Copies of this chain bind each other. A is one copy, B any other.
Amino acid sequence: MNADTRQRIVMTAMELFWEKGFQSTSIADILSRTQAHSGSLYHFFPGKQDVLAAVLEAYRDGIEEWLLKPAWSGVDDPIERIFALLAGYRTQLVTTGCTYGCPIGSLALELHEPDLRIRELLAVNFAQWTSAIERCLDAAGARLPVTLDRRRLAEFTLTVMEGAIMQARTYRDIASFDRNIAVLREHFDMLIETAKGERVPA
């Protein structure tokens, strides 16, 4: 199987879904940018939904290589790694004039009646992201309170990131994003302060 055309279609669709969303992207859009023809697309995919599924699978399989690795190069401290990842999304916002944010989050809110398959792929992408944060929190060890529910805080970090992107896009203002991340940082600082108190028992 010549996977070249298939991969080009997936990459192009990934770009377009990010720029214009799923519904606003037509098959013709994908084809013209890929310089392929409709028959080729339908040779590899039963329909448009399946192209979306392939895009979400590509995100799922590429998170380590394309998201975490670049954001974490030169950053060793586990807590700073969390904020380095958030800074990556910040850069994405800035370079697009606060237009495009997290592709998964946009799709999650755009698709009102997604397939079970699509919804599970969205969930897996979120879950992978959350797990990456959770690993950082685990690596922070005793700097965070021992009683802290690390999975929950990881979830919360994703929540803040997605909400912050939504507002930055709406206001077309990165300052909104920064203020939200600053509050999250203060939350972490308070937790670290609490942990300090724990480590010196009476």
Contact = CB atoms under 8 A, between A and B. Distances in A.
B160 A160 contact: yes
A144 to B, nearest CB: 13
Max chain B C-beta neighbours (<10 A), residue from A126, A167, A190: A167
Contacts of A57: none
A63 to B, nearest CB: 16
A183 to B, nearest CB: 4
Interface of A is mostly: helix
A160 B159 CA distance: 6
A159 B164 contact: yes
Interface stretch (A33-41, A69-77, A79-87, A107-115): A107-115
Interface of A: 19-21, 23-24, 99-100, 105-106, 108-110, 112-113, 119, 122-123, 126, 152-153, 155-156, 158-164, 166-167, 169-172, 176, 179-180, 182-184, 187, 190, 194
